[in-house]
Amino acid sequence: MNDPSARPDPDALLAMAQREGRGRLKVFLGAAPGVGKTFEMLNEARRLRDGGTDVVVGLVETHGRQDTAAQIGTLEVLPLRQISYRGQTLREFDLDTALTRHPQVLVVDELAHTNAPGSRHPKRWQDVEELRDAGIEVWTAMNVQHLESLSDDVARITGIRVQETVPDHVLAGADAVELIDIPPTELLERMQQGKVYRPEQAARALKGFFREGNLAALRQIALRRTAERVDADVTGYMRANAISGPWPVGDRVLALVGRDASAEAVVRHARRIADALHAPLMVLHVEMPGGAGGISPSPALRLAEQLHAEVETTAARDLPTAVLNHARTHNATHLVVGRGQPSVWRRLTGRTLTTALVRQASSFTLHLVPALSGVMPRVRREVAGLPNWASWVAVPSLVALTTLVSIWADGIVPEGGLGMIYLAAVVALAAWFGPTAAAAGALLSFLVWDFLFLVPRFTFALSGIQEVMGGAIFFAVALLLAGTTGSLGRSVSTARARIFGMRRLVEVSRRLSAVTSTGDLLTVVAQEAAKLADRPACVLLPLDGEPVVRAARPVEMEPDAASMAAARWALSRGTRAGFATDALPSADWQFRPMRTADGVVGLLALQMAGQVKDIETERDRALDALIDQAAIALERSQLMAENARNAARAETETLRSALLASIGHDLRTPLTSIRGAIETLRISGDSLTAAVRSDLLTTAEEETVRLARYLSNVIDIVRLEGGQVEPRREPVDIEDAVRSAAERASRRIGRDITCDIDSRLPAPRLDPVLLEQILANLFDNAAKFSEPDTPIVVKARRVGPEVTIAVEDQGIGVPHDQLHQIFDPFFRVRRGDAAPAGSGLGLAICQGLTHAMGGRITAESPIRDGHGTRMTVSLPA
């Protein structure tokens, strides 16, 4: 019962359990149209119905083929649903009718079909999944070129891009796959006889898709995919029933990668073998408790994933047994391992991995990958940041210290007891520096103990059998302690590193789930990455196709211009780039992509050059796990933002109504004033004094300016809501832009504006026109809500990866219960029953323009003595 291979595989049992309660799915798979999938499906359905099974046809596409239509015979056919679309009436499969009828077996043809707009699901395979969830067995048909993973391959072979595809997991989750196959020559004969398409369609098809070479290639793909499916069924059956493999029904390649420099060579060699055999590839890494640190296997495992291998990591004490159990469980037939460089002791005692596999793996084909040419890098174990030579200095030093203690204890402790003092030194060397240093210390300790303390003293000779046996036992115990304690020390170090990584990941998961904004999320990721890697880290997000630093720890750190080229490479290719990678390795930073199902959502950057030590293996794994969690959290944050945008779009009609109401109300006042002034001048102009005429003209001019500004704001908010604002980015001198905007606003509003700007600010890539409009609206807002004799101050600062511009006033401030509405369109702060004049669009426009440039805007109030408001615009530096 302790043998893992003697127990059913839990994953296989779980897969079987998940199928319980769901309807079965049988797929009739063909290489091309016309091979007879629908014909054979209907033929079997009739035989099943004649046997007493409730079989119903939900939908069948005969394509005008009389032989296929005749196969329906007396089978019950569900009525189709009619959908009106663009002046046409489309006939689609009626999912609700099928669910209500609930037959034992339902025939639904054309699995890859795209449903008409207005259907419950966009794809027919989604209808089939709902039918299966309801417990209905479904029979369907599809061609192999409709598999999503084969879309590019089919396009290269046939020159035609298949638009309707089915995800691979649908076919993988089918309970049965039946291949309907005929030779290409026979299919071409059917085409020429008009049994597949009408004559005019057949003539076009024979010149395009239905060429003999195309059909032969598609047939090979269909045969191979069916064989892979059968192989998966056999493997699943063996794992669920604890059957020890391998069964020689098909080739499967298993590559073992370790912590040596040949790991990547093993993966590449295994990929070549798998390609030659047309076999699936599996890659296994076994963690040995107390194993040496060595080279991280992560690059080899990432290479395996890039080569589309099935990667798995496990832990075991007995490496050969773990490899063979995994190979038998997964029905592997070929084992690929590296020759490596085992120690002389292991070679002499026959304890190498290759020797054990040759002796035990008689049912497998064993491939040994030769060591890389040149000198293999020796794995050295550094302790607590000490250099490698420290252990060889510690051995004689600790033995000398132990000798001094023994000399002091000589005469107090018996001769045999002095040996125990030396054993303590051996244990200390094993725990601190590993078994090699401990073995050297054991030999040196035995020689010193024999020379100084065993009779006859000051000679290496032993006087009797008692001294000989005592010395032999001492040396054997010392070596045993060296090996055992050294392994224990490595196990403790590895366990500490793993516990540290697990604790960090648990803490990261808790913190990531608690944050509510993307900015806070990126800050948490940068902090945790810096702690795990023990070096500066930053997070970059794509903005208009360019990576931009959005969070960093320390906050002032950011990649240099040369390293940013590696960042662009990592963002565009979705692979690691920079220091110690295959792409731009001369960079000082290393960039790791944060990937999701939709692609790369960001980059984690680590400063590697100039650091004291490399990242430990366990910490590197924890970093990879952090990146995966961060990518998921960032995707979740983006989805939440997208949902918020969708909700905003749903409120567009409300905004339009508000715009119309606002126009009707707010335009009436200035238009009435202008009309009154003009009429007065027209009727009584000659009788009015010069002062009155000037006052009327001034009123008309002011109301005209007010009207123009209001209409401009309305146009801007409509453009923002419609997503029509596209920033034109160029380097902007922040100091010059802020001072120019302040001078123009000062002349317009008749107020002094104080500028407090840091020197040597960066020149971010922004749209200077949009920035000018943001600042103008903020200055107008500050003037509107503050007294004429109070100051208005604008401050510009560099804060981490951002440039912030803050506009402060000493006005009435914003009530706490209204602060969250400050950037809503048409919102105006109210104090009692009064509301300042204005449309309530200025700050909403500021927010929209700031977001368009990749920044954010916040409001604080009060800022001192219960008064004042601070509007802060934060833009990527």
Mapping DSSP onto H, E and C, the string for 686-737 reads CCCCHHHHHHHHHHHHHHHHHHHHHHHHHHHHHHHHCCCCCCCCEECCHHHH
CB 567 within 8 A of CB 540: yes
Q: What is the dihedral of CA 384, 386, 388, 389, to 10 degrees?
A: -140
pLDDT confidence band for 345 (50 / 70 / 90) = low
The per-residue pLDDT for 603 is 93
Preceding amide of 862 cis, omega within 30: yes
Which amino acid is located at 764 in the chain? P
What tens digit of pLDDT does each residue of 172-192 get? Answer: 888 888 888 888 888 888 777
Which amino acid is located at 66 in the chain? Q
CA distance 406 to 560: 59
State the angle between helix axes of 768-784 and 842-852 in degrees (0 to 180), rounded to the nearest 10: 150
The 10 Å Cβ neighbour count of residue 221 is 18
What tens digit of pLDDT does each residue of 316-326 get? Answer: 778 888 888 88
Region of poorest pLDDT, from 359-373, 446-460, 741-755:
446-460
Mean pLDDT of 98-105: 93
Identify which has the larger pLDDT, 68 or 644.
68
- Is 332's pLDDT higher than 60? yes
CA distance 211 to 209: 6
Region of poorest pLDDT, from 361-375, 450-464, 468-482, 509-523:
468-482
Q: What is the dihedral of CA 839, 845, 847, 849, to 10 degrees?
A: -170
What tens digit of pLDDT does each residue of 812-867 get? Answer: 888 877 777 788 776 666 544 444 555 567 787 788 888 888 888 888 888 887 78
Mapping DSSP onto H, E and C, the string for 497-556 reads HHHHHHHHHHHHHHHHHHCCCHHHHHHHHHHHHHHHHCCCEEEEEEECCEEEEEEEECCC
CB 17 within 8 A of CB 30: no
The per-residue pLDDT for 384 is 42
CA distance 643 to 659: 24
The per-residue pLDDT for 57 is 93
Q: What is the pTM of this model?
A: 0.42
CB 781 within 8 A of CB 787: no
What is the number of residues in the chain?
877
DSSP per position, 330-346: TT--EEEEE-----HHH
pLDDT confidence band for 344 (50 / 70 / 90) = low
The per-residue pLDDT for 832 is 45
Query: Which residues partner with 182 through β-bridges?
Result: none
Region of poorest pLDDT, from 203-207, 441-445, 683-687, 751-755:
203-207
The per-residue pLDDT for 131 is 92
pLDDT confidence band for 374 (50 / 70 / 90) = very low
- Is 731's pLDDT higher than 60? yes
Query: Which residues partner with 84 through β-bridges?
Result: 89
Mean pLDDT of 483-496: 60
Most confident of 107-121, 480-494, 660-674: 107-121
Mean pLDDT of 344-355: 63
CB 138 within 8 A of CB 144: no
pLDDT confidence band for 215 (50 / 70 / 90) = confident
Please measure the distance between the N-terminal and C-terminal CA atoms of the chain and give it in whole angstroms: 63
The per-residue pLDDT for 591 is 94
The per-residue pLDDT for 27 is 92
How far from the centroid of its chain's Cα atoms is residue 615's Cα? 21
What tens digit of pLDDT does each residue of 383-428 get? Answer: 444 555 666 677 788 888 888 888 888 777 776 667 777 777 777 7
Identify which has the larger pLDDT, 63 or 184.
184
Query: Which residues partner with 178 through β-bridges?
Result: 28
Mean pLDDT, rounded, of the chain: 78
- Is 556's pLDDT higher than 50? yes
The per-residue pLDDT for 833 is 43
What tens digit of pLDDT does each residue of 668-685 get? Answer: 667 777 777 787 877 777
pLDDT confidence band for 91 (50 / 70 / 90) = confident
Name residue, tokens 């003999």: 212
What tens digit of pLDDT does each residue of 562-604 get? Answer: 889 899 999 988 888 888 887 788 888 999 999 887 788 899 9
DSSP per position, 6-21: GS--HHHHHHHHHHTT
Tokens of 628: 């995966």
Tokens of 740: 């120019």
- Evaluate the CA torsion angle 640, 646, 648, 650 in order and state its sign: negative
Region of poorest pLDDT, from 263-267, 447-451, 461-465, 693-697:
461-465
The per-residue pLDDT for 99 is 92
Instruction: Characterise 21 by phi-psi region: left (phi > 0), alpha (psi -120 to 50), beta (else).
Output: left
In the sheet with 137-143, reading across from the earlier edge strand, the strands are 76-77, 55-59, 105-108, 137-143, 25-30, 176-180
- Is 294's pLDDT higher than 60? no
pLDDT confidence band for 495 (50 / 70 / 90) = low
CB 768 within 8 A of CB 727: no
CB 144 within 8 A of CB 221: yes
For residue 454, give Cα distances in angstroms to 270, 450, 471, 479: 58, 5, 9, 20
Preceding amide of 117 cis, omega within 30: no
- Is 540's pLDDT higher than 90? yes
DSSP per position, 542-563: EETTEEEEEEEESTT----HHH
| Residue 306 CB-density burial (10 A; 0-12 exposed, 13-18 middle, 19+ buried) | exposed
CA distance 531 to 533: 6
CB 438 within 8 A of CB 488: no
pLDDT confidence band for 377 (50 / 70 / 90) = very low
Query: Which residues partner with 875 through β-bridges?
Result: 803
CA distance 47 to 861: 79
- CB-based burial, 763-793: b 16+ in 10 Å, e otherwise: ebbbbbebbbbbbbbbbbbbbbbbeeeeebb
Q: What is the dihedral of CA 292, 298, 300, 304, to 10 degrees?
A: 140
Name residue, tokens 């725990």: 431
The 10 Å Cβ neighbour count of residue 551 is 25
Q: What domains can you pick out in the chain, each with its CATH number?
A: 10-240 (3.40.50.300), 253-369 (3.40.50.620), 390-490 (no CATH), 515-648 (3.30.450.40), 653-721 (1.10.287.130), 730-876 (3.30.565.10)
Mean pLDDT of 782-797: 86
